[in-house]
Structure 1
Amino acid sequence: MKNRMHIPKKAGRLLFVLLLLFGSKVYAAPSIEGDTELTAVSGQVVSAEYTVRSDEDMESAELTLSYDKDVLTYMSGSGGNNFSGSGGNGTVQLSSKPGEQSTTFAVKFKCKSDQVTAVEITSCVITVKGEEVDVLKGEDNSGEGAGDGSEDEEDTGDRRASWVIDERTFYLHNPGAMADFDAERMNIQGIDSNVLKHKWLDLYVIRLYSDNGSYRDHFVYNPDTGNVIPFVEMKSGSDDVIFIEPDAKAHIPVRYVSVDLGWGAKYTLPAYKHVIIDGIDEIFDDTNRYLIYGINQDGEKAWYSYDYDKDSLQLFDDVAYQGEQNYIEELETNVAGQKAEAEHLLERYNTNMGRRLTIIMVMTILIVVLINVVVLMYLRMRRMRPVPEEEEEDGEEETIQTPGAYVTGNLEEDETDFNEPDFEQEEEEEEIELEIIDLDDMEDDE
């Protein structure tokens, strides 16, 4: 027994020495620290900082915050390499690619009132070695349809209904409990799933998680179309309104076109925006008002006008709006009639003026042709006029040559060589004596 006890003691001592020589490394889970409570002063700007830490370099970090939009208004954010941020309507989404073991995000809010308000860290997901880790839970969320405990215990096994929202897959989970809603089972995409049914309204709500677990929200489910929209409940006067997908038979007011209204950092709501007709073009008006379809606590479905800047909602008066549009259309019809009449008169004027110009041009051409004909006839008649007798006699006298003209030339034996005068001698005229001079005799005399 003594020898048996001696060996473990030596082994323990050896292990202790090795630990001292080489040391030991203890890994801690990723963490996040930051401001969760802010003191708001009306008209002032407050800041909050959040630091995310990990034992290994983070390839990316995504942080989602929620705040009271009645107290704070998101202004800007910063932090980390390749930073991007967006916010509004009570949600802020920040992301960066730090490439280090820690990164810090900073957010600025403008205060609307004087009070202490909370800022909640709803999600923080980092990527380490290609795997996504939920910092708040310390879990690896890289697998699709990852569960989160007893809340997701369903009889469907690994099969869950899913939707693609903003290029990310969302999976159906247990919706939990909500006021005025009862839990029910419903067949969704061929899968028996848990849903919430409103106690007195024909309204269904489900809960969806994104594939990495960073987004977890309730959605209104439409059994007729299979579509989902974010669950939003707002006050409109004394009514509690829940946004729903517009019915296929719902009357859409004239001069409104369909748009996707951004809601939070990730979602969109089906809405309509007013346009101004400019000829054949449709131009959006410069207001931030949208029409959203909703249902109140009495089950009445109607259009509501949502002011994005003021984050307020009021019932849309379709009757008054339609009367206004009818008046505008009547004015536009009158203006269109006047324009058509003016265009007809202008076309008629252009036609008449064209005819007149054609007549003037033809008459001008005829006048020019007649003038040319008269000039040519005058010139021809002038050439054909006979010459007076006196002018003919003067011409004949000028052509008669004086007598005594000489003919010069060389005479040789049996040859006669002389040049005749240029004029022709007529038989009726008198013969002119020609004196022939021998050039050889003239040379001898000399």
Structure 2
Amino acid sequence: MSEATPNGTAQAESRTGRPSVVPPAQRTDKQPERPGLLRQIAESNILMGVLAVISAMIVGSLLILLADDNVRTTAGYLFARPSDFFGAVGSCLVDAYAAMLRGGIFDWQASSVARMWRPITETLTVATPLILAGLGMAVAFRAGLFNVGGQGQIILGAIVGGYVGFAWNLPSGLHMLVAVLGAIVGGALWGAIPGVLRATTGASEVITTIMLNSVASYLMAHMLTTATFIGAGNANPKSLPVAASAQYPKLIGGPFRLHLGFIVALLAALFVWWLLERSEIGFQFRATGLNPQAALTAGINVPRITALVMIVSGALCGLAATAPVLGTQHYLTGSVAGSIGFDAMTVALLGRSTPQGTVLAGLLFGALTAGGTTMQAATGTPIDIVLVLQSMIVLFIAAPPLVRAIYHLPAPGSWRRRRREAIDAAAAVAPAAEKKEA
């Protein structure tokens, strides 16, 4: 016989007729305990991302203070008049971050309503290629691959999409669609090379994609010396302009640069969510990323999935090239890809390789980039500090134990380990108690 005690533990009669405690490991009448809400929040990846951004901003604030002349001057007589120093510190940080908000979100000091709202549209415009390329990185990360070749895939997408945009003569709308498809194909083909090499020979995709970045850069430089791209008799390394029929239409008129590419980015995020979370091929992507050997045992063609993942990742990076080529710049240069391919890895890492997180991380980086220019113009703060912020975010995201140690957060799943230890301890004590009672 057994009975339940008021505190929820079970008792059973021993051979002596007296009740003894049944170890929790032997109980089946109660569901496993769950951690509390605060514990779940403390262990969540979302909190980790927020704290990484906060930590990076603390480091950035210190650099802003070090770069400010007034702060350095008042620090020289800190102990004589500390109020001057702390006043300079507060004024410096308020001015810097207010300028960043005015440049990236809303400019309340602008002279017109259009100029007030222009910063948020700039943030969305800058974020568009970051979101698209970040989605490509996220797909690769979820499948256990590290695609470092986003830069090269963007360049190939720009070459193909740009060529279609200025060399072909098609009706408006159709021309834009074909140019977008061309960019997707260019990126997909460049992503297929390391994918096939990894699938067939086991070559590291990290090494091959890094090498292909250089190949793509030199290929772009060569293309911008040919008459096909720059026109006959022209020595300027700048391509012919993309036809108006192939350009992304603007979503808002006037001084705003926001274009249809932002809607394309949101649709791409929705597609990636469906692909990874609702489709059979997406399940195979995730299964391969979690454990390739188990996936192979389950009947998944891992080499084929590996190649397909890199193709999809490259296609999304190629699609990212349409933002500058068809949306804002409308021509090809050697710097058309900027640092989008490398920033996209940061965006995907900050977004935890999820479509929703990648979109939010892309918007954050877009705001930092757009606001950094205004911060530099208004306060004289070097824009390089924005790059430091982005780099520090990567550092903290890549080192979760460091963030958890700084803020004294529990490790994920630590409540399970403690519960197992308690169960094992109770199971070890129970036989001793039974022997004593006997």
TM-score normalized with structure 2 length: 0.23
Structure with more of its chain in helix, by fraction = 2
Instruction: Compare the two structures and name the one with the higher strand fraction.
Output: 1
Greater Rg by CA: 1
Structure of higher RCO (CA pairs closer than 8 Å, 6+ residues apart): 2
TM-score w.r.t. the length of structure 1 is: 0.23
